[in-house]
Amino acid sequence: MATQVKKASNRKSPAWRIQLHQLPLGLRRGAASIVEISLVVASALVPYSIGLVAKSCTGTWPCTATETVPLNPVLANTKDAIAQTLAVPRRDTNQQVPPLTNLLWCAALAAPVLVVGRQLYLLGKKGQTSPKRSLGVQVVTESGDPPGLIRAVWREGLGRWGLPFTTAYLIWRYSGAFPDLGILLGLAALMWLGENAIALFDPERRTLHDRIAGTFVIDSATFTPYPEADRGIPLRSKKPVTLEVQSSWSEADDQRHEKVTTIVLSSGSRGRKLHLWYWMRQHPGTMLLIAAVSTMIAILGTFVGTQIYIQNQANWRDAKQQNNKVFLALVNQLSQSYPYQIEERRSAILALARLEDSRAVPFLVDLLGQEVAPRLIDTTQQALVSVGPKALPYLQRLNLALQKDEALLRGSALEERQLIARRLGATKRAIAKILSIYTTQIQNTDLSRTNLDKVTTEPAPFTLVLDKTDLSRIQFKGANLTGASLRGSRFFGAGEDGRLGTFDDWIADLSGADLKEANLTDAFLSQVPLNRTNLIRATLNRANLSNAQLVGANLSSAKLIEADLRQAVLENASLTGADLGDANLTKSNLSGARLGKVRAVGTKFDFALLTQSNWQGADMTEAQLRNANLQNADLSSTKLTRANLSEAQLQNAKFRNANLSAADLRGANLEGADFQGATFADAKPRQPDQFIQELPPAASSARVKGVDFSKVKNLETKQIRFICDQGGLHPRCE
């Protein structure tokens, strides 16, 4: 029997560690788990938080560079995978971040993996992670040895985390609680606590993951190793073996101030375990029968499968050969028939559309781009409509080509220009009909830059009418949809899971599209990208634009009566002359927007970001601007009668010649605001023979009680007198 001499130093453990080791084992075990989780979370949270700071700030450390780059592909794929698993909606599909943010977020992704790997290695080799070692907790097998790396991964990955969280996820996903993340977190916490709480009712104080991995959690400070003869006996039935060793000093020990305190026996042989090979040797007859039956099944299955495959391939070749003959015959008929043989050519075109051949659709589209007879152009268009959604990519490419031809032929002969217009009109009609007929069969169709604008002149008048149509799976980026009728249409729909607000939602992209004078009344445009979209004179009454992206969009003279624009992003957008009557823009972002002469009667701007926006000449009667941020906004000559500006941020805002009668300014911050020529109350008109003007009625007076006007600019004497009379604060008030 081999022995190992274990020496102990005279150095004593810190007092705090001794006190911790005196706590109950269960309490120390729970504390170790919390510390382990905290280490993993902190390793990801710290670099991620610094990365967020680097992304949001500019000019100072850690913002060392102002340029941005695309998000690292590994980060983007990880983000998508997490979002898809947790049903989180997609945001910022083309996210741009500073290079430092990319580096820090990569570190946030790698650090938890390194921390978990290190702790698993320590658990497998020594039975103790760093927190467990500090708290005097150790994980061992029945033989008293450390669990080993494979058993440690099995214990932590499956038993401790995998089983509880997978159970919680499945309950959340299929019980109707999906996609509420709060319920998922609650279920995960309950499952994790329940899995650990099993130890309270177990006589050996073992949790489920300990039973799955065959491990025990012991107090490392009091654990006594066992001799080699007891290695095969389960830990629960062992009795400690005490060896009496007389401590003795030697010269070497005297120099090192150490002495022999214990003798640790090395591990010996393990108990016999049942393995598959052992069972096979004990039952040779059964194994022979199983092998014979398996071989026969494999041979029979291979033979049947081969015959089925050969027959299917033969049938496929015959069908393909037959289709090829028909296709060549129809193409030959079209090439040999004369242009005036209209009926023969029409029959061949319609037959091609019904043919199951991958070459038929490209051929028909090419034919549409070359046909000169109006009747045959219409027939080809109808044939492509009957083909369905698979014709859309080819029609879109032909549409783009005809747009270029139309631009190049300006100034050419009228007949040639009309022919191009007729072909272009045919592609428009075909695309519109396919979108309206095959709505449920369209998947991620790209119609970017497609010309579907309204034409009122001959020879090809066209108006896109897709009212109450689901267009959520179509990309219209940069498309020309001028004058389109899209009343009640949906551009945002539930994905495969049938629920809005999840990862697989279908969201159309209208960025850069031309929707001038389009009718989008009652349209559902929530979450839809509309950045730099042209919506001049468009009708968006009662449209749902909540959370929509309208950065740089042009909404001049647009009608947005009762539209829902909550949390919409309209940075640097133009709404000059737009009608926002009774619209809801709560928590929207209109920073830098141009809203001159806008009509916003009764519009809600509560908690909206309106910094540096321009409202000159706007009608904001009864507008709700509670807690809105209007710093540096230009509200000159605006009508703010009965507007609610309570608790608003109005630093350095311009109210020159603005009408603030009956407006509520209580709690607003007016530091640096310019009130030159502003009206706080509608004065009662004087009679012709009346010398003294009467005080304005209280109902028309602005509410300024308690409002600090001490740091505002350009106040006139009569304005100060009104402020003082109404209970406002100013240095010249008595």
Tokens of 106: 């990569």
571: pLDDT strictly greater than 90: yes
- At residue 2 the predicted structure's pLDDT band, cuts being 50, 70 and 90, is very low
Question: What is the pLDDT at residue 268?
Answer: 42
Pairing, β 474-475 against β 445-446: parallel
Question: What is the pLDDT at residue 469?
Answer: 92
Cβ distance 575 to 554 under 8 Å? no
Phi/psi at 617 (nearest 5 deg)?
A: 75, 10
Q: How far apart are CA 29 and CA 36, in angstroms?
A: 11
203: pLDDT strictly greater than 90: no
- Average confidence (pLDDT) over 95-118: 88
Question: What is the pLDDT at residue 567?
Answer: 93
- Average confidence (pLDDT) over 315-323: 75
pTM of the model: 0.72
109 class by beta-carbon count within 10 Å (0-12 exposed, 13-18 middle, 19+ buried): middle
Whether the bond between 73 and the residue before it is cis, its omega within 30 degrees of 0, is no
At 204-244, the pLDDT tens digits run: 888 888 888 888 888 876 655 544 444 444 555 444 444 34
Q: How far apart are CA 538 and CA 485, in angstroms?
A: 10
Question: What is the pLDDT at residue 591?
Answer: 93
Phi/psi at 596 (nearest 5 deg)?
A: -60, 135
Question: What is the pLDDT at residue 63?
Answer: 53
Q: What separation in angstroms does the CA of 382 have from each of 135, 375, 396, 471, 656?
A: 78, 11, 16, 22, 62
Q: What percent of the chain has pLDDT over 90?
A: 37
- Three-class SS of residue 455? strand
- Summary count for the chain: helices (H), strands (E): 18, 10
21 against 140, higher pLDDT:
140
Q: Write b or e for each residue in 393-429: b if 16 or more Cβ atoms lie within 10 A of its Cβ, otherwise e.
A: ebbbebbeebbebeeeeeeeeeeebebbbbbbbbbbb
At 627-641, the pLDDT tens digits run: 999 999 999 999 999
**What are the strands, taking DSSP E only, across 404-465?**
445-446
Q: How far apart are CA 530 and CA 537, in angstroms?
A: 15
At 617-628, the pLDDT tens digits run: 999 999 999 999
Phi/psi at 155 (nearest 5 deg)?
A: -65, -45
Least confident of 364-373, 499-508, 511-520: 499-508
Question: What is the pLDDT at residue 257?
Answer: 44
* Angle, in degrees to the nearest 10, between helices 284-336 and 360-368: 30
62: pLDDT strictly greater than 70: no
- At residue 258 the predicted structure's pLDDT band, cuts being 50, 70 and 90, is very low
Question: What is the pLDDT at residue 9?
Answer: 45
- Average confidence (pLDDT) over 360-365: 89
42: pLDDT strictly greater than 90: yes
- Three-class SS of residue 300? helix
- At residue 7 the predicted structure's pLDDT band, cuts being 50, 70 and 90, is very low
- Average confidence (pLDDT) over 571-592: 94
Q: How far apart are CA 51 and CA 111, in angstroms?
A: 14
Cβ distance 500 to 494 under 8 Å? yes
Least confident of 245-254, 404-413, 572-581, 722-731: 245-254
Q: How far apart are CA 104 and CA 82, in angstroms?
A: 18
- At residue 360 the predicted structure's pLDDT band, cuts being 50, 70 and 90, is confident
103: pLDDT strictly greater than 50: yes
255: pLDDT strictly greater than 50: no
- Three-class SS of residue 140? strand
529: pLDDT strictly greater than 60: yes
Least confident of 153-157, 272-276, 286-290: 272-276
Cβ distance 122 to 129 under 8 Å? yes
Question: What is the pLDDT at residue 307?
Answer: 84
Q: How far apart are CA 474 and CA 476, in angstroms?
A: 6
Question: What is the pLDDT at residue 326?
Answer: 74
- At residue 405 the predicted structure's pLDDT band, cuts being 50, 70 and 90, is confident
CA dihedral 215, 220, 224, 230 (to 10 degrees): 10
Question: What is the pLDDT at residue 445?
Answer: 87
Cβ distance 603 to 622 under 8 Å? no
Q: Given its phi and psi angles, is residue 191 left (phi above 0), alpha (psi -120 to 50 degrees) or beta?
A: alpha
Least confident of 21-30, 532-541, 575-584, 664-673: 21-30
Tokens of 17: 């560690």
Average pLDDT value for the chain: 82
Q: What percent of the chain has pLDDT over 70?
A: 84
241 against 731, higher pLDDT:
731
324: pLDDT strictly greater than 70: yes
Residue written as tokens 């009418």? 465
Question: What is the pLDDT at residue 4?
Answer: 39
46: pLDDT strictly greater than 80: yes
- Average confidence (pLDDT) over 550-559: 94
Question: What is the pLDDT at residue 699?
Answer: 65
